[in-house]
Amino acid sequence: MTVLDDIIVGVREDLEARRAELPLEQLTERVAAVAAPRDAYAALGGPASPRTELKVISEVKRKSPSKGDLAQITDPADLARRYEKGGAAVISVLTEQRRFGGSLADLDAVRDAVDIPVLRKDFTVDEYQIWEARAHGADLVLLIVAALEDSQLRAFLDLTHRLGMNALVETHTAEEIERAVAVGARIIGVNVRNLKTLDVDRSIFASLAEKIPSEAVIIAESGVRNADDVADYAANGANAVLVGEALVIGNAPEQAVADFAAAGARAIADRGQGS
């Protein structure tokens, strides 16, 4: 069993417990009372926006399967506000509990604290989780191609759009990018961390990013240690980066977000001059 498979087993168990407490019919009723979602596609630099900036998705992340405990985040709302102050375009909130120490309570706290789009980052394996994300105010959900059949991927993406939300469709290979494009994904992430082994290989980003259509927003995921890594991703086609560990282990998240965005913008400008 791979790491991804093991995580999904736990995700399904926890999902069924929540579904037993709150059936889908009641959950959908709650969605009707939630404020309309924010446009994460535009916030991340959709085609209508000039792509001269590098957008930063800043993550509330307590721990990970590869590193264990990362940070004691006692006030996720305060951290999210600091991210927003630093210029983050989107806040990502991990809600998987067993391996990442997250919760829907974290999502609620962050949603109430910021005015920018919020991503519910979890391992989506059931439509219930998409309704759940919207009920808790998320504007964006994560869909991992490696965890889904094509029919599920298409159905989940369609539901996300019907609810007025967007999806970050995560890929790891050229074949997964083809699958994401085939179902109409508009925000495509290239995760340089192998979810089967947890190994990171930043060098694969450039070759995979060039396979993504220009109308899509390209997100670089994992492997960011510093501004140089951000600049490298931007130079190789990233429109945005998703950063967790490098932000939560530092003591100045606002400045780090601003520094990452600035480094990315410079790399994009240099890329444009060289084309």
The catalytic residue positions are 59, 61, 121, 170, 191, 221-222
Distance CA 243, CA 92 (A): 9
Q: Using alpha carbons only, give the angle 195, 196, 197 rounded to the nearest 5 degrees.
A: 95
**CA pair distance 38, 92, nearest whole angstrom:** 14
Contact assessment for residue 160 and residue 141, using Cβ atoms and an 8 Å cutoff: yes
What is the helix (H) or strand (E) element at residue 24, kind and residue range?
helix 24-31
Q: How far apart are CA 18 and CA 61, in angstroms?
A: 22
Under a CB-based contact definition with an 8 Å cutoff, are residues 121 and 20 in contact?
no
Q: Residue 118 in contact with residue 139, Cβ under 8 Å?
A: yes
Q: How far apart are CA 200 and CA 179, in angstroms?
A: 22
191 in Cβ contact with 161 (< 8 Å): no
Spell out the residues 6+ positions from residue 240 whose beta carbon is closer than 8 angstroms to its own: 44, 45, 54, 55, 56, 57, 89, 90, 217, 218, 219, 220
User: Is the separation of the CB atoms in 200 and 190 below 8 Å?
Assistant: no
